[in-house]
Amino acid sequence: MKTAVLSGKGGTGKTLVSVNLAAASEEAVYIDCDVEEPNGYLFFKPEKVVAENVTVKIPLADEGLCDGCRKCTDFCKFNALAYINEKLLVFNEVCHSCGGCVLICPQKALTERDKTIGEIQKGVSEQVQVITGILNTGEASGIPIIKNLLQRIPSGHGDIFIDCPPGSACIVMESIKDADYCVLVAEPTLFGVHNLSLVHDLVKLFGKPHGVVLNKCLEGDNPSEKYCEENNIKILGKIPYDNELGTLNSNGLIAARESEKYRGIFAALLQVVTGEVRNATIIDS
C-alpha cells in the first residue's frame, strides 16, 4: 500500500505522522518528497546512504548549424531562449525541459544535455528504507525529482509512506498521483481548517480515498474536527498537543521508537490507516 501524507501548509505534522507511521510498521519505505526542505532523514538518521544525481534535459546549440531563424525562441512558452549577436542564449533555470525547441529546429542545431538539479539519497534505518529527494538551491521545480523518487519505489518492502511537500500545488499533485490513500494532517485552528479544506479539495479532485489525522489536539473545540464531521471525512486518529512529544521531536527522535505511549498511538493509527486502505482498495477493484 502507498499512503501519501499531506497538509495545506508546512508545520502541521506531515513528517511527524509519516515518519512515525513508518517506524511503527513492521517493514516500511519512507519517501521524502518535500524536496525543497526534506527533513525526514534528520529523524531516521539512515545508514549505508547511497546518493544518485537527478538530471533534466537542457538545450545545447551548435553555432555552426544555427542560422538564426528564431523558430525556437518564438516557440518557447517560458521565454528561456534569446538570439543575440548571432548566438543563441539559453537560460537554464527558466527552461522547463519540454524538448520542444529541439523538435522544432529546422537546422537540427539543437541537442540536449543533462543538467543536475538535485539528488536522491537511499539509506536504511532499522526496518525502514529511507529515500530522500533533494532539490538544489535555486532550481525552479522539484517535480523531476519527485517523478524519479516515485518511479523506483522498491516493490515488496511493506508499507510505503510518502511525505509530501506542503500546500496543494503541482508538486503535491505529483506526490499523491499514484498513492492508494491520502492522510491529511490538520491543526485545531480556523487557519488549520482553511488549509485542510485546500488539500481536501485536492484529494477529492484526484478521487483519492482519504482520512484526517488531527494533530496538536487540545481540550475544547477543534474546528478541524468539526470540519471533518460536517464533510463526512473519516478521522483516523488524534495526536495530543504534548510536551513529551514536542521534546522528542525537537531532539530529532522518533516518538514511536522512544516512547511506549507513542508506539501505542502510532501503532493504532497505522492499524486504522491500513484498514482504510484495504477497504478503499476493495471498493476500487
Partner 1 sequence: MKIAIPTEDKSMEKGVCMSFGRAPYFLIYDMETGESMFAENSAANSRGGAGIKAAQAVVDTGAEALLTPRCGENAAGVIQAANLKIYKTMNDSIQDNIDAFKSGKLSLLDEIHAGFHGKGGE
Instruction: Name which position in 55, 73, 107, 189 contacts partner 1 (CB under 8 A).
Output: 73
Of 77-85, 120-128, 200-208, 252-260: span binding partner 1 (CB under 8 A): 77-85
* Minimal distance, residue 268 CB to partner 1, in Å: 43
* Minimal distance, residue 92 CB to partner 1, in Å: 11
Enclosing H/E stretch for 103: helix 100-104
Question: Which C-beta is closer to partner 1: that of 42 or that of 94?
Answer: 94
Q: What type of residue sits at position 75?
A: F
* Minimal distance, residue 73 CB to partner 1, in Å: 7
Distance set, CA 260 to CA 48, 113, 237, 265 (Å):
28, 52, 17, 9
Instruction: Name which position in 53, 79, 111, 231 contacts partner 1 (CB under 8 A).
Output: 79
Of 79-87, 109-117, 241-249, 274-282: span binding partner 1 (CB under 8 A): 79-87
Is 137 a residue that touches partner 1 (CB under 8 A)?
no
What is the C-alpha separation between 196 and 190, in angstroms, rounded?
10
Instruction: Name which position in 4, 5, 6, 80 contacts partner 1 (CB under 8 A).
Output: 80
User: Residues 216, 13: contact at Cβ < 8 Å?
Assistant: yes
Q: What type of residue sits at position 239?
A: I
Torsion of CA 193, 198, 201, 204, to 10 degrees: -90
Q: What type of residue sits at position 170?
A: C
Integer-rounded Cα radius of gyration of the chain: 22
Where does this chain bind partner 1 (CB under 8 A)? Answer: 73, 76-85, 87, 89, 91, 94
